[in-house]
Every structure is written in structure tokens, then in C-alpha cells.
Structure 1
Amino acid sequence: MKQEVFIEALRQELSSLPKHAVDEIIADYREYIGDALAAGRREEEVVAALGDPVKLARELKAQANYRQWQDRRSFSNLVRVIMSISALGLLNVLLLVPFMVYLVILTVGYVVSTGLTIAGLVGVLALSGHHFFGKPGHGTVSFNIDTNASAPANAAAAGASETKDADDDGDDDTPGNLKSLKIVGDRFVFNLQDDSKLELVTRSGSIEIHNDGDNFRFESSSDAARHLLKRGDDGTWSIARDEVVTLELKDDDEKVSFVRSSTDPKSGVWDISSDDGDNVKLEQDEQGKTHHLTAHSGQDTVDIADGKVAINDGHNVIRVAGSDGKYTYAIVMLPIGLLGLALCIWLTRITWRGMARYVKRQIDVVSASLDRQQTS
């Protein structure tokens, strides 16, 4: 191959490089060939020693891209060097595939960690806003159905009596404020008033109790069901909660019903109503916690469920959503996201250093090959 043909082919293969870099490389090879010819070597021999201009151009481009990356260490320049090395066939395919999978996982890690960090920051800002401008409160919203328009003195006496009862019955788990029914431990306790009626459906059968004044009248579908009731020393009646499927208690001014909603005795639906139309309905889960409450009094309605409160007076509706739990989850996301970002950055630095060392070794191989060609 003649010198001009070789030079033209080399220039054509180097066309992707900047013009000044191509001109510099071509000038170096013209000078090398000229020196070899001056030393008495044949033109064809010198050109043949330089090898295939296509392969030579690839090696020169890898070397030029590496110098460009050394001047400006950016990710795009590093990618150009790696692509140049891969064009020479120096990259091991068995190592390249796992490395690409690793890069994909690292990218996903960045995306997920960034998302968690942003969500955490939003949660912190939202929670801070609640602290400054009003935060939904925790705790129980107490309610009471007053079935008697009592005088203030009677109301005060009733309040004192309720306080004493609450102190005496530390395990009282009764919803609302009921006169004839309490839940103490794992038992329903009934203090039947005059003219009251209790209907029970148990796992052993049905039971009805009527208080006609001084006498109690019992009706039961089986002796086994009748023996489930126990009489206390204080005149109250009780039955184990896990034996009761449904319950309905009526007295002169209120009605209480309970329907178990699962096999757990604590879960069920309570319905408490008075003669004047007031009504409270509660739904309890297996732990005995109320997760849905609805109270009606005339046109007024209060509905509490899933951390949301709706108040309706028949004309206007006010809805309040307490979302502290969501903010708590968001705040937990913040440190997780920051730790994830820190880990991704650390892995990126290690990867960058490893790739830089690998590229340098491969470029050293290319440079050694070019030196051998020029000395041959």
C-alpha cells in the first residue's frame, strides 16, 4: 500500500475526531514515514509495518478520547473511551453484561432513594405546617346520650356516681354511658332496671329476661343457655362475652343492641338509641377498638371513621381528616431515602474509580501496541 493511500484511509477513519486532532495525527505519521524512507526503507515495507489503517484509527481514537477524558473527567467522555475500547474488542462480554445490570440497579437505587427523600421532605414540611397552623389532636372523642332533662343538681350527682363507678370498675370497657349494661373484663354485666327486657342469642340458645318490678321472668330455649347466666351478690346478672352472638336490652328510655361481627367476642356492632330519637352506632374490631362511630341527634349527625370526622347539622357539612399517621410514614421515608442516596453515591465513587483504572490499563495496552508498530 502506498503512503498516500494509507494516509487517506487513516484520515477517513479518524473523521469523528476534531479536525485539529486529525491533522496532528496525520502530520506525525507523515513525519514517521518520511524519516523511515530517508533511512533507506521501502515505502511499502514501512506502510505494511503500520498495519491496517482501520484498526490503527480505532487505537488512535481510543488514545485521543482517553486524553480528552483526562483533560475533562466527565461521564460522557468516559463513555466515549469505553466505546472506543469496546470497538477494539478489549472488553470482556462476560463481564460487560453483569456490569450493565449493576448500572441499571444503581440507577433504580438513585430513583427510589430520591423519591423517598422527596416524600420525606414533603411529610416534614406538612407536619411542620400542622404544628404551626393547627395539628389534628389524638385521643378519644367522648360522647353521651342524655335521655333525661334532669336538673343541674341531678346531673352533678349522676356525674359523681359515674366517676365512682369508673373508679370501682377499672376494666369497664362499655361503649357510651349506659345504666343497665357494663362490660367488665370478659363478661357482660346487666343491672336490669324496672320494666326492662333483655334478649340474648348465645351459642347454646336464646334467653329472655323480663324485670317486672320485684320479679325476674326467664325464658330460654335450653337449660344450657339458662345456666350461662350468673347472678352476682349485688343483684346483677352476667354472661361471658364469647358466649353471646347478639344482645338487645330495652328499658324505659333507651335501647341497646349488639351483634358480633366475627368469631372474636370483642368485635361487633353496637347500636344505642333513646326514645327521643338520639342514636349512636359503633363498630369495633377484634381488639375492641372502635373504628367507626356514627351519632345522630335530631338533624345533627357526627360520623367518625378511618381518621376522618364528618359533622352535619342538616344544612352544612364539615369534614376533618386527621392524617398524622401518613405524615409519620413520610417522615420515616426521609432517613431511608437519605441513607439510600448516601449508599448510591458511595457505590458510584467506587465504580468511577474502578472504571478509571480499568480504562487506563486498556489504554496502556493500546499505547504499547502503537509504540511497537512505530519501532518495527
Structure 2
Amino acid sequence: MTQEEFIQKLRVELGSLPKHVVDEIVADYHEYFGDAIAAGRSEADVVAALGDPIKLARELKAQATLRQWEARRSFGNLAKVIVSIAGLGLLQLLLLIPFMFYLLMLTVGYAVSGALAVTGFVTVIALGSHHLVGWPSFTSLPFNFESDEVSHVSAKSNSKAADNDDDEDEDDQNAASSADDARLAKVDMKVFRVVGDRFFLRPDDATRISVVTVAGPLDIKNHNGKLKIDSVGGGRDLFKIEADGSWSIARADIVALDLKDADGDHVSVARIGSDPKAMAWDVSNHGDRLSFVQGAGGQPKSLSVHSGSDSVVIDRDHIAIRNGINDVMIFGPRHSSIGVMIYGFAMLLAGVFGLFLCVWLTRMTWRALARYVQRQLEVITTRLEAGHAS
């Protein structure tokens, strides 16, 4: 192989390096050939001493990339170092496999630790906001019990409702439009209705009403067109006689009420706890049944609608729909927010610790790589100088 053939093969193999680097290397070997020939050596002896130009090019590329990584330690230059060292031989490639696996595990560690830290942070912030300001809500299903659809699940599905007289229809519309809680439109009856924060009673001869007020219990019934009230304590004084002859009482004064009329309809309501608006309702009106529970401030906790064999139950954490043939159950979350908060803190701490560990391992890896690259650079430089000396 002649000098020009050797130089040409060397230039081709060094093609992946920048042009100015290749030109410098080629110039050095032109000078080396010139000095050797001037010293009395033949081209063939010089080529034989330098060895295979392909192997020489690999060592030169490894030397160049190692120096480039020393000057600027980046992941791009690290990748070039790995490729160039792997090209030096099978042994070097086998030694790189554990290191590549280690880099893969380190990358996975970054990804998992970052995901844990972000998830834990979001969980802690969300639950903290939930406990401080009540948003977002995790303890109830995203349904509004006060929607128009719910308020109009009425007892008029029964043909019996169609026989109501015009006065009763007018009363229904007035009550439905003025009620604060749309569900109470279903409670609107001829002998009992709810308007704002007051209960209105107009019992007929067959109606029996038992009331427990904050001032004491009493029974109400209509006897020959006149209301007869049997009371203990001052419960009677809490009632107000309206212009239409009905009796009204503030909702806050009611502890419990049970009403049954001549048509078999009934209303049962009882206070839950100390909040006057926290009440449990059970209403049967024209063959249909409605049950629901109001929480603090009158906000709904559950809703139950029954019509024959069909029913819909909406609770804080589930929905049950039955039509007599098929049953559908939808369950919401059943977890403790405190437990989730603990898990959130645990994920946040685990993620932060994992990221700290990954950063520490990365720093140790860079230092170890620096020592390894320096050692490889010395080995390659010594080998190249030995080839030149020979």
C-alpha cells in the first residue's frame, strides 16, 4: 500500500470528524511520512509500521472525541465517546453494556422520581385546598340535585294526579317556583307545602298531623271544618294563621313532622343534628316516593326516587338505578382524605429523595467517566506514539 492510498483510506474513515480536524490529522501523517522517508525508510516500511488505516482511524476518532468530551462534558459528546470506544473492539463493547444498562436505570430513576414528586405535590396541594377552601370536592359525586330534571320527577306519572283540580295545580306551580330547594317541589301537596323557610298546613277532615317543635309536641286534625290542636308546652304559639286559613310554622322551629292525608299520601321529616336545615325527608305523593337527606345549610346529601318497581338512588359515593329488570350501580371514591394526604406526602418525599439520589449518582458518574476517559486517552495516545516511534 502506498502513502497516498494509506492517507486516502485514513481520510475516508475519519469522515465523521469535523473537516478541520481531519485536515490536521492528515497533515500530521503527511509530515510523518516525509520525515520517515527523509530518514531513509521506504513507504512500505512506514505503512507497515502504522498498521491498518481503518483501525488507526478508529483510535484517532476515539482520541478526538475523548478530548472533545474533556473540553465540553455534555450528553451529546458522551454519546460520541461511547460509540467511538465501542468501535475499538469487541472487548470494549462488552465492557460498555453494563454501563449502558446503568444509564438506562438512571434515566428510569429520574422519570419515576419526577413522577412521584409531581404526583405527591399535586395531591398535597389539592387536598390542602380541599380542606381549606372546599375545592376541589372529593367526597361527593359531580351531580346537582337541584337541577330541573330532578325537581320534576313528580308524582304526576300516576293518572291519579291528572284528576287534581285547577286550584291545586295553581298551588303546585306557585310552590315550585318559590321553593328554595327544588326537590321540595315534590313535597307540594294539598294539605302540606313548603314555601321558603316555612311549612304551610291546611289539613282536611281525614288528615292527621303530628309535630314536634322546639317548644314541645302537638297533634293537629280538622274536626268539622275547624282545626283542633292538642299541644304540650308552647308549640302552638309558634304557628301563624295565614290569610287563606292555612297554618304556617318556620322550618327552624320543626324538630320532626309526620303527616297522613285521606288519599294515603304522607310526609315524614326529621331534623338531623343541630342545623335546622339538616333534615331527612320521606314523601309519598300519588303513588310515587321520594326520599332525600339535606346536609348542613340545606345542601343535599342523598336523593332517592321510587315509582313502582323503578327507582333512582343518588348518594354521596354511589348511584343505583333499577327498572325492575336491570340494576346499574356506579360507585365513587371510598377513601379517606387523610389517608390520601399521607400517601401524597409519602410520594412527594419519595420523589424528592429519588431525585436527590439520581443527581448524586449523576455527579459520581460524571467524575468516574472523567477518570475513565482520561485513562483511555492516555492509552490511545501511548499506542499512537508507539506506532509513530516504530
TM bin (shorter chain)? 0.5 to 0.7
Instruction: Label 1:365 to 1:303 Cα distance change in 2 as closer, same or farther (>3 A).
Output: farther
Q: What is the CA deviation profile of residues 323-357 of structure 1, one whole-angstrom value per residue up to 9, with x for unaligned ones?
A: 72434422331111101111111112112221221
CA distance in 1, matches of 2:73, 2:127: 42
Q: Using the TM superposition, name which of 53-62 and 80-89 deviates more.
A: 80-89
Instruction: Label 1:152 to 1:71 Cα distance change in 2 as closer, same or farther (>3 A).
Output: closer
1:277 and 1:297 in contact (8 A); partners too = yes
2:30 matched residue in structure 1: 30
CA distance in 1, matches of 2:86, 2:281: 77
Instruction: Label 1:107 to 1:85 Cα distance change in 2 as closer, same or farther (>3 A).
Output: same
Cα offset, 1:97, TM superposition: 3.5
Instruction: Label 1:344 to 1:88 Cα distance change in 2 as closer, same or farther (>3 A).
Output: same
Aligned pairs for 1:328-339 (under 5 A) are: 328-339=342-353
For normalisation by structure 2, the TM-score amounts to 0.52
2:59 matched residue in structure 1: 59
1:344 matched residue in structure 2: 358
Correspondent of 1:297 among 282, 303, 310? 282
Give the match's secondary structure for 1:297.
Answer: strand
1:126 and 1:327 in contact (8 A); partners too = no
One-letter code aligned to 1:51: G
2:70 and 2:370 in contact (8 A); partners too = no
1:82 and 1:359 in contact (8 A); partners too = no
Cα offset, 1:361, TM superposition: 1.3
One-letter code aligned to 1:356: A
Cα offset, 1:301, TM superposition: 1.5
Instruction: Label 1:93 to 1:71 Cα distance change in 2 as closer, same or farther (>3 A).
Output: closer
CA distance in 2, matches of 1:62, 1:151: 94
2:303 matched residue in structure 1: 312
CA distance in 2, matches of 1:316, 1:101: 55
CA distance in 2, matches of 1:95, 1:279: 80
Cα offset, 1:94, TM superposition: 5.5
1:90 and 1:362 in contact (8 A); partners too = no
CA distance in 2, matches of 1:57, 1:347: 34
Cα offset, 1:6, TM superposition: 0.7
Cα offset, 1:119, TM superposition: 0.7
Q: Using the TM superposition, name which of 46-55 and 25-34 deviates more.
A: 46-55
Identity percentage over the alignment? 52
Cα offset, 1:54, TM superposition: 0.5
Cα offset, 1:318, TM superposition: 8.7
1:58 and 1:84 in contact (8 A); partners too = yes
Cα offset, 1:18, TM superposition: 0.9
Give the match's secondary structure for 2:15.
Answer: coil
| 1:362 to 2:347 alignment | no
* Cα RMSD (Å): 3.6
One-letter code aligned to 1:324: S
1:11 matched residue in structure 2: 11
1:123 and 1:328 in contact (8 A); partners too = no
Cα offset, 1:98, TM superposition: 3.2
Instruction: Label 1:99 to 1:127 Cα distance change in 2 as closer, same or farther (>3 A).
Output: same
Q: What is the CA deviation profile of residues 283-335 of structure 1, one whole-angstrom value per residue up to 9, with x for unaligned ones?
A: xxxxxxxxxxxx6522332499xxxx843386997968887243442233111
2:86 and 2:96 in contact (8 A); partners too = no
2:211 matched residue in structure 1: 149
Cα offset, 1:126, TM superposition: 1.3
2:129 matched residue in structure 1: 129
Instruction: Label 1:90 to 1:353 Cα distance change in 2 as closer, same or farther (>3 A).
Output: farther
Aligned pairs for 1:106-117 (under 5 A) are: 106-117=106-117
1:66 and 1:363 in contact (8 A); partners too = yes
CA distance in 1, matches of 2:98, 2:45: 44
Cα offset, 1:11, TM superposition: 0.6
For normalisation by structure 1, the TM-score amounts to 0.54
Instruction: Label 1:20 to 1:35 Cα distance change in 2 as closer, same or farther (>3 A).
Output: same
CA distance in 2, matches of 1:78, 1:346: 18
Cα offset, 1:27, TM superposition: 0.3
CA distance in 1, matches of 2:29, 2:351: 55
CA distance in 1, matches of 2:93, 2:22: 30
CA distance in 2, matches of 1:41, 1:329: 77
Give the match's secondary structure for 1:150.
Answer: strand
2:116 and 2:350 in contact (8 A); partners too = yes
CA distance in 2, matches of 1:78, 1:137: 48
CA distance in 1, matches of 2:114, 2:380: 40
Unaligned runs of 5+ in 2: 140-208, 218-257, 259-264, 271-279, 284-289, 306-311, 318-332
One-letter code aligned to 2:32: Y
CA distance in 2, matches of 1:15, 1:94: 26
CA distance in 1, matches of 2:47, 2:96: 35
Give the match's secondary structure for 2:302.
Answer: strand
CA distance in 2, matches of 1:94, 1:36: 38
Cα offset, 1:125, TM superposition: 2.5
CA distance in 2, matches of 1:345, 1:151: 69
1:161 matched residue in structure 2: none
Cα offset, 1:131, TM superposition: 4.5
CA distance in 1, matches of 2:138, 2:365: 49
Instruction: Label 1:154 to 1:137 Cα distance change in 2 as closer, same or farther (>3 A).
Output: farther
1:324 matched residue in structure 2: 337
CA distance in 2, matches of 1:88, 1:104: 23
Cα offset, 1:370, TM superposition: 0.1
Aligned pairs for 1:161-310 (under 5 A) are: 297-298=282-283, 299-302=290-293, 310=301
